[in-house]
Amino acid sequence: MKRAMKRLAIAVLALFAVSAVFASAELPLEGKTIILHSNDVHGSIAGYANIAELRNEYEAQGADVILVDAGDFSQGTAYVSTTKGADAITMMNATGYDLVTLGNHEFDYGYAQLKDNLSKAEFQVICADVFDENGNTIYPATAIIESGDVKIGFAGFETPEAQTKANPALIKGLSFASGNELYEIAQSCIDSLKAEGADIVIALSHLGVDEESAPNRSTDLYANTSGFDFIIDGHSHTVMTEGENGEPIQSTGTAFANIGVVVIDEDSKTIEDNYLLPVSHDEDGTTVYDIPNDISVSGYAQEIMDRVNGEYNVVFAQSLVDLNGERDPGNRTEETNLGSLIADAMMWTVLKDEGSLTVAPENALAIVNGGGIRASIASGSITKKDINTVLPFGNTITVVYVTGRELLEALEASTYCTPTAVGGFPQVAGIEFTVDTSKPYDAQDETYPASTYYGPKTINRVTINNINGNAFDENAVYAVITNNFMAAGGDTYYAFASATNQFDTGIPLDEAVMSYITEKLGGVVGEEYASPFGRIHVI
């Protein structure tokens, strides 16, 4: 950590040095190629003006600059989600990106939408480990960019978690390599790039370093291949200039908190330095920007933000309490008041129409995956934009009929690593259950089909205390009110995808939450939501 902080301080001084001679005739970076990289931008489109201006400054000092991104640019704020990721491409074109790989959130709106968005890209897209139904990669696996006399080879890698972190129904026909297959593909890319004359080989990966992502992390990729000179990584939102064991891996965090810099000497054809530059910092409560804006790119961003704000920044309700949209601790580890509010809205939406279910209302419950809750809401005014930011995926409410045994399987699988965070962690209504983390998770020998998750052999950790105050029955049929992502087997919910009886209401989840707040709660989220209700007990 101390080493990383020291390198960060040096990087900041380096930026000031660049700025100080910006207007001079000297070219201190002549003969250098600089790769600027971003990852997990998640709709923070104002930051594109910062990376564009940093490129301008380095180029003014004689450097050849390459702009790359390691994925998850299509989703995260209303500024990109309202156009299903299309405006992210608009911004990246305006910024002048050269090369990107895909993140799991690029698939949030389906493969067809992804293809349409990227058909308008003015940059290259590489992805070596995602295949169509004919066994072909959906985008080229590799690319070589010549800079000066240096040939830099890039290979792109998508996390195989995308197959369950995106709606499986919207990516049918695609397959994702993992484990040994991933390593073999990566080694083949390395060998191919070197055969084509690449002097330096870099992985542009959306793999991350989270424990739950093993064995498909960037550190696993590096350990099981030979020949990567560097890895530019994303997915886990990690801020790092090297891996835990000194691996040459760099990642900027998320939302343009930092910009990654990799310096290549064109004479020796080697990587001579890498560091992160913070975009801004706080000083006496005021945001101070370390990297200024490119005026032209900033104008593109402002036009999009003004359009979206004009449509979505409309107050429709009030909240008397802060609503917790955090990840960990939060919606991926424990019951939260925001999770309960969303689950309550789902229950109310379906049950308000009498006879909409084939089971009695007391056998209905709601489950929403914690990973689908993307932001908090502070007490005060609530806008449509707030709700869209919390629920940006465009999911619809779906009802899945399952047996009590299948419900137990779904809950056991979705809390398999609790208290460690997982996107499938259930936020609920109409049910009270307990997770005993002192007991081991009894995993199947093989993963669920088209998944990186292992289903349970036995139910060891979860006990369902009651369903709407009534005794739980393993043999009874329950109506689980959920979203179409989970109904299709997203995250850990294969038990829902394999259920024979389900239907999609077509009601967007964000609209259901807004209707619940205005109609049922009278436009005010009150003190009853000040804290969780005790629906989930984690021992």
Per-residue pLDDT, 240: 97
Q: What is the largest CA-CA distance in the chain?
A: 80
Helices marked H in 136-243: 162-165, 179-195, 218-223
pLDDT at residue 15 is higher than 60 = no
Of 392 and 245, which is predicted with more confidence?
Answer: 245
Question: Does position 16 have pLDDT exceeding 90, yes or no?
Answer: no
160: preceding bond cis by omega (within 30 degrees): no
Torsion of CA 279, 281, 285, 287, to 10 degrees: -20
Confidence category of residue 7, pLDDT binned at 50, 70, 90: very low
Q: What is the pLDDT of residues 467-480, one digit of tens each?
A: 999 999 999 999 99
Nearest to 143 by CA among 168, 167, 126, 131: 126
**Per-residue pLDDT tens digits for 80-135:** 988 999 999 999 999 999 999 999 989 988 899 999 999 999 999 999 999 999 99
Which CATH code fits 2-24+33-306? 3.60.21.10
> Any idea which residue has 């919390």 for tokens?
390
The least confident of 227-241, 428-442, 505-519 is 505-519
CATH number of 313-538: 3.90.780.10
pLDDT higher than 50, residue 11: no
pLDDT at 403 exceeding the cut of 80:
yes
Q: Would you call 168 helix, strand, or coil by DSSP?
A: helix
Q: Cα angle at 424 between 418 and 429, to 5 degrees?
A: 95
**Cβ(316)–Cβ(514) below 8 Å:** yes
The C-alpha angle with vertex 423 and arms to 48 and 488, in degrees rounded to 5, equals 100
Percent of the chain having pLDDT more than 70? Answer: 95
φ, ψ (nearest 5 deg) of residue 354:
-60, 135
3-state secondary structure of 287: strand
0.85 exceeded by the pTM?
no
Within 186-334, strands assigned E span 200-206, 230-233, 239-240, 249-252, 258-265, 270-278, 280-283, 286-289, 315-319
CB 491 within 8 Å of CB 424 = yes
Q: Are strands 462-467 and 431-435 parallel, antiparallel or unpaired?
A: antiparallel
320-340 pLDDT, tens digit per residue, is 999 999 999 999 999 999 999
Domains of the chain by residue range: 2-24+33-306, 313-538
Residue 237 pLDDT > 70 = yes
Cβ contact 351:343 at 8 Å: no
Q: Is the confidence at residue 23, as pLDDT, over 60?
A: no
Residue 408, phi then psi, degrees to nearest 5:
-60, -45
> Regarding predicted confidence, which is higher, 8 or 335?
335
Q: What is the pLDDT of residue 24?
A: 44
Task: Specify the pLDDT at position 416.
Answer: 96
Q: How confident is the model at residue 393 (pLDDT cuts 50, 70, 90)?
A: confident
Answer whether the bond into residue 329 is a cis peptide, omega within 30°. yes
pLDDT value at residue 75? 86
The pair phi, psi for residue 350, each rounded to 5°, is -80, -40
Grade residue 5 by pLDDT with cuts at 50, 70 and 90. Answer: very low
| Measured distance CA(82)–CA(308) in Å, rounded | 8
- Band of pLDDT at residue 4, cut at 50, 70 and 90: very low
Q: How far apart are CA 370 and CA 441, in angstroms?
A: 20
Q: How confident is the model at residue 6, as a pLDDT?
A: 38
Whether the CB-CB separation of 453 and 497 falls below 8 Å is answered with no
